[in-house]
Amino acid sequence: MEAQRNERLVLAEGGLKGERRVAIARLVMVGMFGLVTVLVPKLGGLPPGHILERAFGSAYMASAFVILLGVHRARDPKPTVSFVAPILVTIVDFTFVTILALITAPHEVFNPGMHAITCAILLTFSVARSSIWHTVWSLSLALASFTIATVHFGMFGSKETMFTLGGLVVLGFMVGMTNRAVRAMFQDLRLRDNLTRFLPQPVAERMIKLGPAALAPVQREVTVLFSDIRGFTTMAEGLEPRAVLALLDDYFGRMAQIVKGHDGVVGKFLGDGMLAFWGVPDRVSDHALRAVKAALDMRRGLVELNQAREQDGEPPIAIGIGIHTGIVAAGTLGGSLQSEYTVIGDAVNVASRIEGLTKTHGVDVLVSETTWEQLAGAVPGEKLATETIRGRKEPVVLYTIRP
């Protein structure tokens, strides 16, 4: 519900901006009407429009000014107002243009083409309005206005009139379909932005095509990677808060891109630590190899980062990486507003514990035996130790990955 409310607020803000553009276009249109009714007859040797025509034209101009001032002074768009206000303004527009058509000056002949163009202009104002009902409402009033005017002057039923009515319907259909497509594009963009926060772009695109079921909870074997910055707490004590955030932003930006580059999912950032995993939501058979290759690139990425830090006169940083393959439960958590795709299970805890052992053994990357077996010699490394991990009865055989 909160996500829907936020979407309505965004649409209301967009609607207000659209109404501001429409208000300017309306004023231009009414100004053109004034030129046509006053200057053109005068140039042709005819008297200007009669008193009623000028009176209603002036009233329409005044209402256009009032609407323009109102939309430009509005600072707090509300979803309800953004839906109701265009409906009321559309009634005002079509009421004035219909009356002006019916009170054509005695020396003039009603021009159905001119009135059709006016109705079409008002109908195109719906492009700035997101709801399909605004388009339906504008189209209904356009058809009604043109029908009333042609019936009044005895022109209804002709081939030209029927063609014009059909043209208005086609125009309304195109405006409505355009608005619908833009709104769908907006929703897809929001979904894509949300997914690409933690998924690689190709994976996110596949998830969008597959629909919500693609991120449904599953239980599957995956490879989990944990990493953190060694001695970060001590380092952060001597830095300004801005410097701490700048360091983490630079570090996580580099490492997250490396993970995504190997089709991994960035689960979350935990202080100075990062959780990543392979094997969900996309099912891949070589998830262990992808995770280890990502770890090797993270190692190289850290070298580049430290070179940049050295040029800026800042001390280098060191990281530890623990990798483990096992069964997890994967799915989205946090609701619609702060949802994240993550993994839960013993494999996650083991990967975290293995990462903590990198400092004990003086290495930067450690992988468990379950991960090592799936590498099948594709990456150089060696057995390092067998450790008992807190919270787990069976000891874990650890392997280190050579540069």
* Residue pair 27/65 in contact by the 8 Å Cβ criterion: yes
Average pLDDT, the chain: 85
Nearest alpha carbon to residue 396 among 294, 348, 313, 324: 324
Tens-place pLDDT, residues 20-74: 999 999 999 888 877 766 555 554 444 555 677 778 888 888 999 999 999 888 8
Its domain, for residue 369, covers 212-401
pLDDT attached to residue 108: 63
Question: Among the three residues 151, 167, 195, which one is the final residue of a domain in this structure?
Answer: 195
Confidence band of 103 (pLDDT split at 50, 70, 90): confident
CATH number of the domain to which 308 belongs:
3.30.70.1230
- The mean pLDDT of 85-99, rounded to a whole number, is 93
Tens-place pLDDT, residues 127-142: 888 788 999 999 999 9
Asked whether residue 202 is assigned to any structural domain, the reply reads no
Do 121 and 87 sit in the same domain of this protein?
A: yes
Amino acid at the residue 298: M
Do 168 and 72 sit in the same domain of this protein?
A: yes
pLDDT attached to residue 135: 92
User: Vertex 271, ends 266 and 275: CA angle to 5°?
Assistant: 25
- The mean pLDDT of 148-167, rounded to a whole number, is 90
Q: Per-residue DSSP letters for 6-25?
A: HHHHHHHHHHHHHHHHHHHH
What total number of domains does the chain contain? 2
Do 176 and 251 sit in the same domain of this protein?
A: no
Distance CA 63, CA 89 (A): 10
Q: How many CA within 13 A on the CB side of residue 22?
A: 23
Question: Among the three residues 195, 221, 254, which one is the final residue of a domain in this structure?
Answer: 195
pLDDT attached to residue 45: 46
pTM: 0.61
pLDDT attached to residue 212: 63
Tens-place pLDDT, residues 311-366: 988 889 999 999 999 999 988 776 555 567 789 999 999 999 999 999 999 999 99
- Total residue count of the chain as it appears in this document: 403
Phi, psi of 214 (to 5 degrees): -65, -25
Count of helices and strands (H, E) across the chain = 12, 8
Distance CA 196, CA 190 (A): 10
Do 117 and 227 sit in the same domain of this protein?
A: no
